[in-house]
Structure 1
Amino acid sequence: MNDFLHQDLSVYQLAVGAEASPQPIPLNAATLLSMVRAQIDLLIEQQINATLWVKLPPGKIWCQELRRYQLSIKQPINIYNCQIKGADAAKKDIVTQEEQQETMTPYINQVDVELLANNQLHREYFLVVLSPKFSSLLVASQQVRNDESENLAKENSPKNLTLLTITTIDSRVIQNVLDGLKQEIQLESNQIAPADLICQNICEPALWSLLFAKQIQRQDEINRQIRHERIGKLQGQNQTLQKKEQQKDEYLKNVSQELRTPLTQMKTALSLLSSPNLKPQQRQRYLQMLNTQCDRQSTLITSLLDLVELEHTLEATNLELVKLADIVPGVVSTYQPVAQEKGIMLAYTIPTDLPPVWCVNGGLRQIVIHLLYNSLKFTPTGGEVWVTARIEDEYVQLEVRDTGIGIAEGEIPKIFDCFYRVRSGNSEEINGAGLGLTIVQRLLWNCGGSITVKSQLDEGSIFTVQLVPEGKDPKLGGR
């Protein structure tokens, strides 16, 4: 028969079109697996020497059921493993030759049967059991809408699809399916016995009742497993929510404390200013204190609003490709007056041939600004700050190095926490919000990047940022 006449072959349609065909029912892959297991349970328990015609979904879990039968039966059996012509050879064998040699009994006879390629059979799975005592058919078909492409149908795993399924012990339906398969294979092959394509028996009622009971038992196991997984998932979600609530409470506590500190200072200054015996120099000092704390309060509120806005917009913001050579020089030139005023040497080396990197819109500029601002703030007069970049492994690596006061080893894990400030004794850092490095870390997490710190007290710090370059998926990077 030529290939054209085979294109519409469908085991499912052969079963549906047969006389006395049962009504198909929609099932998921888990329920289909439970039905296969129930049939194998019956064959093993009754020690039924059956011939099997099979085409099951790829995956070890399906293969294990047939191996279980092969290992448990004490009589010769034939298994015809049906495959589509041209299918991936890696998925072809239900049991490899090595597995047969290591674990199988000498009674096993597995025959790989190649069927001509067609669109229908690619979406179908079946198990035909033939024996003098018991015969059955189980066939499932993935249902694809007309507006879905064939490629989508092939890529989807049966685990994620609804399968229209028919199960029957009616010999007329089974024989109709066998007749269809018979036209698809070369019976001249010495490996296929013509008698293995004939269903002659009428199933014993007791065996059908046993199969029905085992199907219920197997489905109960599936339901218990599903309930257990759902309970575990809900417990995990509850733990996540509780953790988020704890983090939120801790965050609000920190925010309240940070806002309360300058307010307390301002209230103290106002109280002292109301003293009738206040000297002009004292008044000026308290006014300066009041002004400083107002600025600090304003900085805190602005930084908090920026962080909240960032958290809300990051997920919805698309990533873009940006070149470091287009960002770093402009930021460095902006901070050159600050560096000169403090007597700090500020320089950068950014190769122009570095590939562009992934980041949210405007995010790379924020990262460079916060890191450079920190280095300048904590570097004393006469110090140096460098900004460099290079390719390192599969990433573009940006370094901001300074000869500043450094960070104690015990403080390094905390510097990315909200409101955390390095204990330096520098009055300038007290005015900061302690959110700059938090914002840097959030931005990098969102684009698959990361940041690490090396530092020694009185020697300086190195902030190393890894950025995902063009051609690499930013989703594969991360924390």
Structure 2
Amino acid sequence: MASVVTSEISLFELVAGSASAPPVMHVSPVTFKALMSSLIDLLIDQGEPALVWAKLPKGEAWQLEFDRYLDRLTPLQQIFYFKNPRDDLPEPALGLKAELEPSLPAYAIPALTTITLPLESSLRKEFFLLIWSKQFCGLLVGHRARVPNREADALGTSTIDEDVTEKKQSLMAFLVIDPEVIRQAIAVLQPFAPRSETLPESSPLDLAVINQLLAKQVQRQEDLWQRSSTHRRQAELANLLQLQNEELISTIRLKDEFLHNVGQELRTPLTNMKTALTLLNSPTLKPQQKQRYMDLLARECDRQSSLIKSLLDLVSLDQLAEHRTAQALRLSEIVPGVVSTYQPLAEEKGVRLAYVIPEELPAIACLSIWLKQIVVNLLHNAIKFTPRGGQVWVRAKQQGDYIQLEFRDTGIGIPSTEIPKIFDRFYRVRQSVDDDMGGAGLGLTIVQKLLLHCGGSITVKSRIGEGSTFNVLLPVYRHSEES
């Protein structure tokens, strides 16, 4: 049954002007729908006859929530469903009616009346759910705080998106359980419902029912919070997966670049060796030329061997770090021994090599094999790039929670523009004083990775023609690290 009526009365203003008006609530559509759902749950749980007046926002979610109540209607109930003009709302359906036997009397069948409001009705901008039963009465009424445009205001449209919480869609709402106020609201709506019966006796202040309503609303809010929390976790997980994916792509790209560089570095000495072997087969080759090609073969073989060894060291670093823990090492027990092995090489090149490692320095946290490789690589470079008559020093001192190990030489130096690149893989910037380019370009890369694994760092200062200083910081060993 449908009817068209006119009215200038607003339920929101009626409640706001009452002596027992509750505080007005500024809520989002999501919260308003949660309050409506709690009232519907209470109606379903009670299973008692009730009079219901409802006007809902447009949208499938709102209609489905109200249909949930319609599907569970008991006899002797009346529902008055209001809608705005030109609202394209589906006609509510009584699910139980189709299941009732035809032999039942008319008074045992729930009745639903659809009411279309005129354009001038003050109710067109309001949404409400009013309930009156023997156990409970309540009114939830919401008023749009802001109308998007004049056309919507003229048509009285009721589009509210429960998933949008912008200020323009917020609602001012009242939740009322005062029977006197609700009776006045029913009196306002009574002319719209010609089929309405006399109101049944009501005990609206039953504390058990009120507590049940509060419990349902709390549970609704908890469910909403859980869902939002799940969505947040899913969003965070999606962001984490995206970052991991980007990191994986970057790692794959770096690996491809590394393999490309390895191929280039391996091919260079092989090409030189093949060229030397071809020239050695010449029948007109002089002894001096032959010796020069033989020396080239030896150098390129050493270069190839150094490159392969450095690559194996670089690959094994991460694997070794996963299974080894830092040891308590004293520099005075490691560094002098390594320096002594390089003393003959320094004397052969005419380079003075000296060290100062105080025995009272505290132990550092590192692996013995790593510390030796750090000293070997930096000491080898210092001697290699220092001309005859030059000097190389190795000094150690404490700086707070670190031990500084300094490698200083009077060699040919490094251009300032090249210093940031010297730790890159296969990067070679300096020509050695004897034109020995047998290095693999991985020594400083390995040093930096070793220091990263043991919590240290390295810095460089250098001037062309004056020499270079490599400062290594190694963490002091703490007993708590053993645990």
- TM-score (structure 2 length as normaliser): 0.55
**Match status 1:218 vs 2:225:** yes
Q: CA deviation at 1:208?
A: 3.4
Matched residue type, 1:434: G
Q: CA deviation at 1:276?
A: 3.4
Corresponding residue to 1:449 among 441, 456, 464: 456
Paired with 2:474 and 2:480, the residues of 1 have a C-alpha distance of 11
Q: CA deviation at 1:367?
A: 1.2
Alignment coverage as a number of residue pairs: 282
Name the structure 1 match of 2:337: 330
Alignment root-mean-square deviation, CA: 2.5
Name the structure 2 match of 1:100: none
Paired with 2:297 and 2:354, the residues of 1 have a C-alpha distance of 37
The alpha-carbon distance between structure 1 residues 425 and 448, as it changes in their structure 2 partners (threshold 3 A), is closer
**Match status 1:313 vs 2:320:** yes
* Maintained 8 Å contact 1:379/1:404: yes
Paired with 2:435 and 2:366, the residues of 1 have a C-alpha distance of 30
Amino-acid identity (%): 52
Name the structure 1 match of 2:273: 266
Superposed CA offset, 1:181-207 (max 9, x none):
xxxxxxxxxxxxxxxxxxx94252443
Name the structure 2 match of 1:388: 395
Paired with 2:346 and 2:229, the residues of 1 have a C-alpha distance of 68
Q: CA deviation at 1:287?
A: 2.3
Instruction: Please give the secondary structure, in 2, of the residue aligned with 1:379.
Output: coil
Name the structure 1 match of 2:239: 232
Name the structure 1 match of 2:259: 252
Instruction: Please give the secondary structure, in 2, of the residue aligned with 1:202.
Output: helix
Q: CA deviation at 1:368?
A: 1.2
Matched residue type, 2:401: E
Structure 2: stretches of 5+ with no match in the other structure: 1-30, 40-136, 138-205
* Maintained 8 Å contact 2:385/2:432: no
Instruction: Please give the secondary structure, in 1, of the residue aligned with 2:260.
Output: helix
Matched residue type, 1:242: I
* Maintained 8 Å contact 1:315/1:446: no
Paired with 1:322 and 1:425, the residues of 2 have a C-alpha distance of 33
**Match status 1:414 vs 2:454:** no
Name the structure 1 match of 2:446: 439
Instruction: Please give the secondary structure, in 1, of the residue aligned with 2:323.
Output: coil
Name the structure 1 match of 2:6: none
- TM-score (structure 1 length as normaliser): 0.55
Matches within 5 A, 1:59-74: none
Instruction: Please give the secondary structure, in 2, of the residue aligned with 1:314.
Output: helix
* Maintained 8 Å contact 1:320/1:359: yes
Matched residue type, 2:248: L
Q: CA deviation at 1:427?
A: 5.1
Name the structure 2 match of 1:304: 311
Superposed CA offset, 1:51-94 (max 9, x none):
xxxxxxxxxxxxxxxxxxxxxxxxxxxxxxxxxxxxxxxxxxxx
Q: CA deviation at 1:363?
A: 1.4
Name the structure 1 match of 2:476: 469
Corresponding residue to 1:405 among 406, 409, 412: 412
Instruction: Please give the secondary structure, in 1, of the residue aligned with 2:355.
Output: strand
Q: CA deviation at 1:426?
A: 4.2
The alpha-carbon distance between structure 1 residues 203 and 446, as it changes in their structure 2 partners (threshold 3 A), is farther
* Maintained 8 Å contact 1:314/1:360: no
Matched residue type, 1:211: V
Paired with 2:341 and 2:451, the residues of 1 have a C-alpha distance of 23
Q: CA deviation at 1:213?
A: 2.6
Matched residue type, 1:260: R
* Maintained 8 Å contact 1:377/1:428: no
Superposed CA offset, 1:123-151 (max 9, x none):
xxxxxxxxxx9xxxxxxxxxxxxxxxxxx
Matches within 5 A, 1:118-133: none
Paired with 1:282 and 1:351, the residues of 2 have a C-alpha distance of 51
Corresponding residue to 2:437 among 430, 434, 439: 430
Larger radius of gyration, structure 1 or 2?
Answer: 2
Deviates more, 1:202-211 or 1:251-260: 202-211
